[in-house]
Structure 1
Amino acid sequence: MTPRSVETLGILGAGRLGTVLARLATSVGMRVLVASSGDPALIAPRMAAIGATAASMATVIAESDAVILALPLGEYRMLPAEALRGRLVIDAMNYWWASDGIRDDLADPRTSTSELVQAHLSGARVVKALSHMGYQDLEDEARPTASPDRKAIAIAGDDADAVATVASLVNDLGFDPVSAGPLANGIMLEPGAEAFGADVDATQLRSMLDGFWESQRGIIVARARG
């Protein structure tokens, strides 16, 4: 199976992560559309400077082959579920109490936060990716395919075709894709897990994921899930 290529990448969120991902994508020739929570005109000059285009959320969703969520996680219920129906959605969000507030629903170890996003976007194909490496490392560490010092990005998802497309995108952006398994395993990439913040190669990342259930965080998750 040849994964579908992403020619137009949409990004919802124009903060540090969204801007870095936009810059990486434009640098490898992708058309990139970016939406913020306000008027696109407010971010248009900044996006134009890196080769991306500011647009409304509706335009980003309608015209993109894949849409990255680079918003505060606490805002996920504001995402337009009907507009995203049938779309490939890449969840790059994480729970930060400082910005999201104290949210027991976002900190429940019985479910990954990407599963919450998928439940809200029931008609979309949600894949967890581009979330565990810091935005500065993402910007600094992108390398061409087969580079000896290339770093890795983990991917979790339930739809095999969607995961394959995201893996191809991750490779295009300059990183080796590593499968973390189903979307529920996205919890292995969240704050508190060893892989969160990891700036490592594919072998090291694979070892972190394989050892999750023996880690302190993994034991807590396993007990919560029964």
Structure 2
Amino acid sequence: MISGMLSPLGAPRIAVLGAGHVGPVIARVAIDAGYHVSIAASGDPGKIALITRVLVPGAEPRWAADAVSDADIVVLAIPLHKFEAFDHALVADKLVVDTMNYWPPIDGVREMFEDSGAGSSEIVQDRLHLSTIVKTLNHIGYHELEDERRPLGSRERRALGVAGDDPGAVAVVAEVIERIGYDAVRLDSLRAGRLLQPGGPVFGVPLGRTAFELATRVGAA
């Protein structure tokens, strides 16, 4: 655990859906911050048991339905192309953190996300209409997420945006972001989460809180 970070007391339980590149890193930093974390792939948890022990010690590999049912926060860290077949009922009534990006040069053109009038997380919210979506962790590289953490008060502490339409849900996720080692900048809508997407003013850019807030204000103007 990073010096200066405290384990959360009565912390929410986190389920990470996705055991590729992104999911295990998110699971590791959450465990390091004191959270209970389950991780699930698309099938039998036995198939990811070994990789979980090696890459995410402390995480519990589970069937997706079981991981979600016990979780307070569900992190959606699957490849975007798999979202088209994602069962929306799996996360009904759950707080879901959307870490996905629509990036045609990487993902190819995905018709579902081609609505130029909506951000990708707005489209995710429309599809997962029984869930509460919060967008974050999408504008920092998974390979940076672990290394860029800093304790509270550090001058080198980086800011991450947290966007959502539900202020209570945003507050819960912002607390997680703060505890894993980043300053959380709350954006008041999923629409504002477009600023965090590829091509947005803060995507992939390591900024402190003040610079981040300025960049998002300028980007929204």
TM-score, reference length from structure 2: 0.89
TM superposition shift of 1:196: 0.8
SS in 1 for 2:123: helix
Provide the C-alpha distance between the structure 2 equivalents of 1:137 and 1:85, rounded to a whole number of angstroms. Answer: 31
Q: Which residue, out of 48, 54, 71, partners 2:53? A: 48
The residue that corresponds to 1:157 in the other structure is 164
Q: Decide which of 19, 36, 45 is 1:14's aligned counterpart.
A: 19
Q: Report 1:28-47 matches (<5 A).
A: 28-47=33-52
SS at match of 2:88: coil
Comparing 183-192 and 139-148, the one that deviates more: 139-148
- Greater shift in the superposed pair: 35-44 or 122-131: 35-44
Q: Distance in 2 between matches of 1:92 and 1:161?
A: 19
2:24 partner amino acid:
T
The residue number in structure 2 matching 1:223 is none
Identity %: 37
1:72 maps to 79
Are residue 146 (structure 1) and residue 181 (structure 2) matched?
Answer: no
| Equivalent position SS for 1:21 | helix
- What is the alpha-carbon distance in structure 1 between the residues aligned to residue 11 and residue 217 of structure 2? 29
Question: What do the CA deviations read for 1:40-63 (whole angstroms, capped 9, x no partner)?
Answer: 112112212322111111011101
Q: What is the CA–CA distance in structure 2 between the aligned matches of 1:145 and 1:45, rounded to whole Å?
A: 34
The residue type equivalent to 1:193 in the other structure is: G
Residue in 2 aligned with 1:124? 131
Structure 1 CA distance for aligned equivalents of residues 61 and 103 of structure 2:
26
- Following superposition, the deviation at residue 96 of structure 1 comes to 3.0
Separation in structure 2 between the aligned mates of residue 82 and residue 105 of structure 1, nearest angstrom: 18
User: Higher mean Cα deviation, 17-26 or 137-146?
Assistant: 137-146
- Distance in 2 (CA, whole Å) between partners of 1:201 and 1:99 is 28
- Displacement of 1:172 in angstroms is 1.1
Aligned-residue Cα RMSD (Å) equals: 1.7
Q: Is the 8 A contact 1:154 1:180 kept in 2?
A: yes
- Unmatched 5+ stretches in structure 2: 1-8
**Pick aligned residue for 2:192 from 185, 190, 203:** 185
| Structure 1 residues 5 and 157, CA gap change in structure 2 (3 angstroms) | farther
2:4 corresponding residue in structure 1? none
Contact kept? 2:84, 2:112, Cα under 8 Å = no
Question: Residues 92 and 128 of structure 2 are in contact (CA less than 8 Å); yes or no, is this contact kept in structure 1?
Answer: yes
Match of 1:196 among 180, 186, 203: 203
When structure 1 is superposed on structure 2, of 153-162 and 81-90 the one drifting more is: 81-90
3-state SS of 2:102 partner: coil
Q: Which runs of 5+ in 1 are unaligned?
A: 215-226
CA contact (8 A) 1:6 1:165 kept: no
Q: Which residue of 1 aligns with 2:3?
A: none
Secondary structure at the counterpart of residue 90 of structure 1? strand
